[in-house]
Amino acid sequence: MRSLKDRLSWSITLSLILLLSLQWLVVSYAINKLSEDQLIKRLQHEGESLLASTQLNTSKQLEIDAQRLSAIYQRPFSGNYYVVIAGQQRLISRSLWDTDIDINPLAAGAQQLLYRQGPEQQSLLIVAHGYQKQGLPITIAIAENLGPLQASIAHFQLIYAAISLFGLLLLLAIQRLMIQRALLPLKQMQSDIAKLERGEADQLASKGPEEIAPLIAELNHLLHTVQQKSKRSRESLGNLAHALKTKLTLLNQTAERAEIDSLPEIRASIYAATASLDQIIERELKRARLMGNTKPIQQVNLKTELAQLAHTMRMIYKAKTVNITWEVAEGTRFHGDGEDLLEILGNLLDNACKWCARNVSLTVTGSESAIFVVEDDGPGCPVHELNSLTQRGFKADETVAGSGLGLAIVYDIANSYGANLSFSRSAALGGLRVEIRFNPRST
């Protein structure tokens, strides 16, 4: 999903572009309309002045006093023209030279606004008006070339567009700064969440604006509640384990009473049951670490933890002289509960050391997600039994000591992280190969 910053930026940018474009269109239309209205009024005044310059001679012919007209009407193709129609008489300005403008006579008091193509392809605006002078109907049409006006308007539009573009860029820069400042609390919250993921904090420190302050408060409350429940759960499980161990001790003491001497089978059965129950209690106490410590997620120092774990396994299987090698690829990180990881790798390495001939290998790779691979040079496991390895109590060989819970616990912890656990035969060592692949969210 697109970020909130991008969505706000795009929305404001589009709004500003639409607003400034509409403003440019409105201003351009207004300037064009105002200029044209002023030009029409001026042409009307020119027509009235031309009417005042006309007079009838003794032959009832209309004459125009050239001395009272502007010299612009005398210059050929100057862009300013007139046509006067009086009965059968038609007078045109010298500026038209040998051309004419198609104008029809108008009744007195009538006015007409025309757009015509003039000499030299000029675009003309024509204001024609009907008059009556000394009983003679007269039509006067004043025309002016719109080219210079349109060029001036186009020049204004270009300048205004440049100013609008500069204003748009300035507004975009300002709104970007405003959005960045407005989203600073969310940036701080994002940083706090990142610290939470890395295990550097157990609460969100930022307060945030009032719109998201309740959300932050609820998240902190939820984190605190989960931590408290986790703590109470571990304490309760520890108390339960202590109580059960006390009862198991009493059972063992009962089995040692003299009355049981004559029943060795029963005594042995009690000892076997209490030993099995004690082992199960120890396993379940370890599983209590699934909830992790008080911080939701930690970053585990893999090299330090694996070195200590390998050393411990070598000491446990000292008599077997197991050769344990391990390697962590550069850049590989695991974010999670360190106790969970030790529980997983401890069970996998213990299982590998138990079944290996001599060699056990542990490799850790992956950048976005950690991948742990444990291999041994033991007999391996038949293909048809691979899917049964994580079942509780399943033992590939009943003659080997153990409860059959180790790989089941590994499966439970891996499943709580959403990780994938798979079994196969090791191509390098020939024994069992166990791969646990954490997804990016879990690590």
Q: What is the mean pLDDT of residues 184-213?
A: 75
Sheet with 371-376, side-by-side order of all strands: 323-328, 359-365, 371-376, 432-437, 420-425
Which among 379, 373, 376, 380 has a CA at the least distance from the CA of 422? 373
Q: What is the mean pLDDT of residues 287-303?
A: 58
Residues in the chain, total? 443
What is the percentage of the chain residues whose pLDDT exceeds 90? 23
pTM: predicted TM-score of the whole model, two decimal places = 0.48
DSSP state of 353: H
Q: What is the mean pLDDT of residues 210-228?
A: 80
Q: What is the mean pLDDT of residues 403-427?
A: 79
Tell me the pLDDT of the chain averaged across its residues.
Answer: 82
pLDDT, one tens digit per residue, over 329-344 is 988 888 777 778 888 8
Cα dihedral sign, 259-265-267-270? negative
User: Domain locations in the chain?
Assistant: 4-151, 213-286, 298-437
Q: What is the pLDDT of residue 189?
A: 79
pLDDT band at 294 (very low <50, low <70, confident <90, very high): very low
Which among 373, 199, 374, 187 has a CA at the least distance from the CA of 298? 199
13 Cβ neighbours under 8 A, 6+ residues apart: 172, 175
303 Cβ neighbours under 8 A, 6+ residues apart: 328
Cα dihedral sign, 119-124-129-134? negative
pLDDT at 36 over 50: yes
Q: What is the pLDDT of residue 42?
A: 92
pLDDT band at 404 (very low <50, low <70, confident <90, very high): very low
If DSSP codes are grouped into helix, strand and coil, which group holds residue 63? strand
Question: 4-151 has which fold?
Answer: Beta-Lactamase (3.30.450)
> Is pLDDT larger for residue 365 or for residue 183?
365
What is the percentage of the chain residues whose pLDDT exceeds 70? 88
As a whole number of angstroms, the longest Cα–Cα distance in the chain is 166
> Is pLDDT larger for residue 89 or for residue 243?
89
pLDDT at 125 over 90: yes
CA–CA dist 9, 96 (Å, integer):
58
Which among 362, 395, 355 has a CA at the least distance from the CA of 379? 355
pLDDT at 9 over 80: yes
CA–CA dist 67, 220 (Å, integer):
95
pLDDT, one tens digit per residue, over 306-321 is 898 899 888 888 888 8
Superfamily of domain 298-437: Histidine kinase-like ATPase, C-terminal domain (3.30.565.10)
CB 398 within 8 A of CB 306: no
